[in-house]
Amino acid sequence: MPDRRDLANAIRALSMDAVQKANSGHPGMPMGMADIAEVLWNDFLVHNPANPRWPNRDRFVLSNGHGSMLLYSLLHLTGYPLDIEDLKAFRQLGSKTPGHPEYDPEIGVETTTGPLGQGLATAVGMAIGERVLAARYNRPGHEIIDHRTYVFAGDGCLMEGISHEACSLAGTLGLGKLIVFYDDNGISIDGEVKGWFTDDTPARFEAYRWHVVPDVDGHDPVALRAALEAARAEADRPTLICCRTVIGWGSPHKQGTAATHGAALGDDEVAATRDNIGWSHPPFEIPEDIRQAWDATSRGAAAEGEWQARLEAYRKAHPEAAAELERRLAGDLPPDWEPAASDFVADVSANGKKMATRKASEVALNGIGPVLPELFGGSADLTGSNNTWWSGSKAIGASDFDGNYLFFGVREFAMTAILNGLSLHGGFRPYGGTFLVFSDYARNAVRLAALMKVPSILVYTHDSIGLGEDGPTHQPVEHLASLRAIPNLAVWRPCDDTETAVAWRAAIESRGAPTALVLSRQGLEHQPRSEEQLAGIRHGGYVLRDPGDGEPEAIIIATGSEVALAVAAARALEEDGHRVRVVSVPCVEAFAAAPAEWRDSVLLPSLGRRVAIEAGITDFWRSWVGPGGIVIGVDAFGESAPAADVFAHFGLTVGDLTTAVKNLF
């Protein structure tokens, strides 16, 4: 019968073999954390390799994602659909084992990690998700949602600012089912971290209101098991288990040094390591007794089977709650969603009013929120400005998780990663708000949302120089183009209440991409539309206004607050005898994905007289107007003054737009 060290050495061997075969990767962390992983996965982790999507599984997040071979080894050994050939293809094109973990629920990879600290913050979102669903759906005698979130994190994760944001909030919320293992090996890529990282980490986390288990020997299974038992006994605080480890443990000449961090050990050192740890088996070969000891399929089937029995009892006792919970976990929208959403959009279109689109967003939340129990939102300390609170909102806190709103505090980056965690956990349509200019703080989490194809909703208000007196530090200029440059992110900048309603509907219905809703501070006129125009909004670009008679002679392309300028300019030009079409493009990405026939019917490829106007940098629109077209925008930082004065200063007025169009004739 293999002992614990034999089982841990299987991780070490697979990790160093895969890195060596690829001649690329990070062997040191998997070798150093192998003993921790063995105790957690064999003694505590509740999961079912035969059903990686089982809703009540424990979540495992490898925040220090460069050590990806640790995760792949664990998934392979415990019985997930990741075979030895997949491990041999580590870091190769098209493999299931990329250099850093990429979200793949079919094989048990819970989230994309690699950018340090984000896995930890995402895990906070998962832990929040568990607590909120448990508070909403569990009943006496029916603990149907009851699982933990485990995280591996290194010193790099804890150096990143996002760790401070997320862990501070986790402590405030008292997330007792969140357990983090800190791999304290004293080494990063640049060498010994004592030259740049001397934090008193246990004291820091105690200050966050965490339960801390300090000074655990990360290579002692007895000590590790005791630490885990202590962590699991703590119900009201998240736990940090501080593990002293040796990076590259087992490598006789490189362990404990940066040489094991980010490069293959080399054939000679791999051979020496095999001798040193007593692993006599060829590369990628796992003895049958060790493989059987690791296999978690029978334990997993039993755990899920027991839960399924509890679920059946829950269904009988609480059929309505059970049906709603299962629908939410499946990611399906309510059966009355489509008629409710259609009726709401039609009502806004018919009875629209002048308002800021941030206010229109609040109206949308009040319109759709009552039919969406999975809607969960918040703001990074700007609730009143972002208008993210609606009449059905109820804030959660450490003493009450039965709600649908979270005051994130000034934590834009962590907020966005937490939204991703809620999406990944399942059962939520999460949204979070801040000013558009502060999307920069959160950008890497936005990027990961797009990379993972999770439908997080990002509410960005105060979208332009229209912010006015707060000045250039708060006036976004490059941000629209910057967000549009992220693949698989839908960026909606609506021009009025109707486009805002459609944008919210699109965001809720998105299954494979996040959505950014970019909203104005200033009031915007409601634009009247025909039924055809209303339907056209969902294509991302459509004809909002055409000349009264005859074919258009020029096209004005606009988004957001500048659409009203375009409409006013078109009217003025018509009075001067020019026939001008106004095209509203609330979502460039949706328009680009629309059928070519639709795009051509809107933009008329043969018509070269085009002017684009948007309160942002101009380069993005130059390909839209063509070589003979004109773009009006802002290619400098803003100014502090009343909004009307700032718009006039940068030439974004009806007069400026009218002159630009006339110059094309």
pLDDT tens digits for range 327-349: 999 999 999 999 999 999 999 99
Write out the two tokens for 514.
């996040």
- What is the spatial distance between Cα 151 and Cα 200, in angstroms, rounded to a whole number? 20
Active-site annotation holds for 412: yes
Give the pLDDT confidence score for residue 487 in this predicted structure: 98
Mean pLDDT of 397-407: 98
Give the pLDDT confidence score for residue 554 in this predicted structure: 98
Residue in 508, 464, 490 with CA at minimum distance from that of residue 614:
464
Task: Quote the strand ranges of 451-514, DSSP E.
Answer: 457-461, 490-492
pLDDT digits (tens, 9 = 90+) for 493-531: 999 999 999 999 999 999 999 999 999 999 999 999 999
Residues 6+ apart with CB under 8 A from 560: 357, 463, 464, 493, 494, 495, 518, 520, 524, 586, 614, 615
- What is the spatial distance between Cα 319 and Cα 567, in angstroms, rounded to a whole number? 53
| 212: enclosing H helix or E strand | strand 211-217
As a whole-number percent, the residues of the chain with pLDDT over 90 amount to 99
- pLDDT bracket for residue 469 (50, 70, 90): very high
- pLDDT bracket for residue 78 (50, 70, 90): very high
DSSP 79: T
Helices (H), 461-510: 479-484, 497-509
* pLDDT over 90 (residue 439): yes
* pLDDT over 90 (residue 548): no
Give the pLDDT confidence score for residue 485 in this predicted structure: 98
* pLDDT over 90 (residue 83): yes
> First vs last Cα of the chain: how many Å apart?
87
Residues 6+ apart with CB under 8 A from 455: 423, 429, 507, 510, 511, 512, 513, 514, 515
Mean pLDDT of 303-324: 98
| 17: enclosing H helix or E strand | helix 4-22
| Active-site choice (102, 165, 269, 412) | 412
- pLDDT bracket for residue 100 (50, 70, 90): very high
pTM to 2 decimal places? 0.98
* pLDDT over 90 (residue 1): no
DSSP, collapsed to helix, strand or coil, labels residue 399 as coil
pLDDT digits (tens, 9 = 90+) for 107-153: 999 999 999 999 999 999 999 999 999 999 999 999 999 999 999 99
| Mean of per-residue pLDDT scores for the chain | 97
pLDDT digits (tens, 9 = 90+) for 4-34: 999 999 999 999 999 999 999 999 999 999 9
